[in-house]
Amino acid sequence: MTFDSQAYAAQLQDKVTRLRDLLAPFDAPEPAVFDSPLKNFRLRAEFRLWREAGERHYAMFSQDDKRTPILIEEFPIASLRINQLMPQLKAAWQASAPLSHKLFQVEFLTTLAGDAMITLCYHRPLDEHWHAAAAKLATDLGVSIIGRSKGKREVIGHDYVVEKLDVGGRTFSYRQPEGAFTQPNGTVNQKMLNWAYQALGDRSDDLLELYCGNGNFTLPLATRVRKVLATEISKTSVNAALSNLSENAVDNVTLVRLSAEELTEALNEVRPFRRLHGIDLKSYEFGSVFVDPPRAGMDPDTCELTRRFDNILYISCNPDTLAANIAQLNDTHRITRCALFDQFPWTHHMESGVLLTRR
């Protein structure tokens, strides 16, 4: 793969044109554009292992052909740390029967801050021989190691990596657990956080956040408002978010493990939820809502819920569902800011953001 800057610029312009066209019916302003490094931008990678000529090799498969492996020695879109670790790990499993026996998948998770974790997946139980070899490997490589076999998980070091991101003149520390969602492009994620921080602005009222994940946006946005009510359905992400709030001494956030649909029911007083016990929803003076939904976008009821707020800050990984949600809100809200974040260079995928304010 070549990393030609002119080819990248042309691809990025195509994405800008696509976003502009999708938002044109809503009289959106020209999007701010945040580009990506051309290579070494991806902080996580997952490989199957493929045996050929008596050796295991890193392998990936194209979307069109799940049977023919593409053998890989290096992965230029992945972080420099991943590319450094790939040959070191391969040499280690080649030299160690406990590490290589029935090993079928490898996952890397790294951070801009330099932390790294490797997950090794096996079609066999993990014994003391594996644990001794993996402990030595973790020391030799300076990483945490997770061993996975059916229904079991062995942790050597930590089951998370730590990221540090600079937003609004402050450095935030994030615990990113193994197996949980994290933004793949750390450089663009930092740009995205700063855009959202600026778009929200300093406010004297409260913020509702849906789909908060590990608190990626929660931490910096909480410094802009009086207090935050945040929701997330994944237990792993909730635990990481609580740890991140504590680590960063952010004490004005109440986090509830509810889906966006359940919170909508709670705010509409459709039914009570035990997980909201002790939380006075009526004490909040919500002026803004922040949403970062999955690719499907917001369901109609959640979208309707956001209409009651003066400001809707919306980050989207699917511009088509973003446009569909804006169409539902367009009669009461207008786009005052928009942005394109090139989280996924060399693909057609894009991340975008809009600030909708009440007409």
Q: How do the domains of the chain map onto residue ranges?
A: 5-38+183-358, 44-161
pLDDT of residue 67: 84
The answer to the question of whether 159 is labelled as a binding residue is no
Please say whether the beta carbons of 173 and 244 come within 8 A.
yes
pLDDT of residue 50: 94
Report the interhelical angle of 80-94 vs 128-141 (nearest 10°): 140
Rounded to an integer, what distance in angstroms lies between the CA atom of residue 154 and that of residue 160?
Answer: 13
pLDDT of residue 134: 98
Match 């990984």 to its residue by tokens: 317
Q: Residues of the chain with pLDDT > 70: what percent?
A: 100
Residue range 1-25: average pLDDT?
A: 94
Cα dihedral 305, 307, 312, 318 sign: positive
The answer to the question of whether 65 is labelled as a binding residue is no
Task: Find the catalytic residue in 121, 212, 303, 317.
Answer: 317
Residue range 90-96: average pLDDT?
A: 96
The answer to the question of whether 127 is labelled as a binding residue is no
The answer to the question of whether 342 is labelled as a binding residue is no
Q: Is the pLDDT of residue 7 over 80?
A: yes
Rounded to an integer, what distance in angstroms lies between the CA atom of residue 335 and that of residue 355?
Answer: 6
Residue range 289-299: average pLDDT?
A: 93
> Any alpha helices (H) in the chain, and if so which ranges?
5-23, 80-94, 97-100, 128-141, 186-200, 218-222, 235-247, 260-267, 300-306, 319-329
Identify the band that residue 97 occupies on the pLDDT scale cut at 50, 70 and 90. very high
CATH-assigned architecture of domain 44-161: Beta Barrel (2.40)
Half-sphere exposure of 312 (CA within 13 A, CB side): 29
Clarify whether 212 is annotated catalytic.
no
Rounded to an integer, what distance in angstroms lies between the CA atom of residue 357 and that of residue 359?
Answer: 6
Residue range 122-145: average pLDDT?
A: 97
CATH-assigned architecture of domain 5-38+183-358: 3-Layer(aba) Sandwich (3.40)
pLDDT of residue 325: 97
Q: Is the pLDDT of residue 264 over 90?
A: no
The answer to the question of whether 314 is labelled as a binding residue is no
Q: Which residues pair with 154 in a beta bridge?
A: 147
pLDDT in tens, 51-92: 988 889 999 998 888 889 999 999 999 999 999 999 999 999
Rounded to an integer, what distance in angstroms lies between the CA atom of residue 194 and that of residue 275?
Answer: 32
Q: Is the pLDDT of residue 105 over 70?
A: yes
Count each helix (H run) and each strand (E run) in the chain, helices first: 10, 17
Q: Is the pLDDT of residue 126 over 80?
A: yes
Please say whether the beta carbons of 56 and 50 come within 8 A.
yes
Task: Find the catalytic residue in 154, 209, 262, 351.
Answer: 351
* Of the candidates 283, 280, 315, 305, the residue with the CA atom closest to the CA atom of residue 200: 315
Rounded to an integer, what distance in angstroms lies between the CA atom of residue 306 and that of residue 321?
Answer: 15
Identify the band that residue 3 occupies on the pLDDT scale cut at 50, 70 and 90. confident
SS3 82: helix
Clarify whether 351 is annotated catalytic.
yes
pLDDT in tens, 162-193: 999 999 999 999 999 998 889 999 999 999 99
Q: Is the pLDDT of residue 2 over 80?
A: no
* Of the candidates 324, 356, 340, the residue with the CA atom closest to the CA atom of residue 14: 340
Token representation of residue 180? 């949980």
pLDDT of residue 1: 66
**346 or 54, greater pLDDT:** 346
Average pLDDT, the chain: 95
Would the CATH topology of 5-38+183-358 be identical to that of 44-161? no
Determine which helix (DSSP H) or strand (DSSP E) holds 56, and give its type and residue range.
strand 55-62
Determine which helix (DSSP H) or strand (DSSP E) holds 252, and give its type and residue range.
none
Rounded to an integer, what distance in angstroms lies between the CA atom of residue 202 and that of residue 354?
Answer: 17
Q: Is the pLDDT of residue 272 over 90?
A: no
Q: How many CB atoms lie within 10 A of CB 225?
A: 24
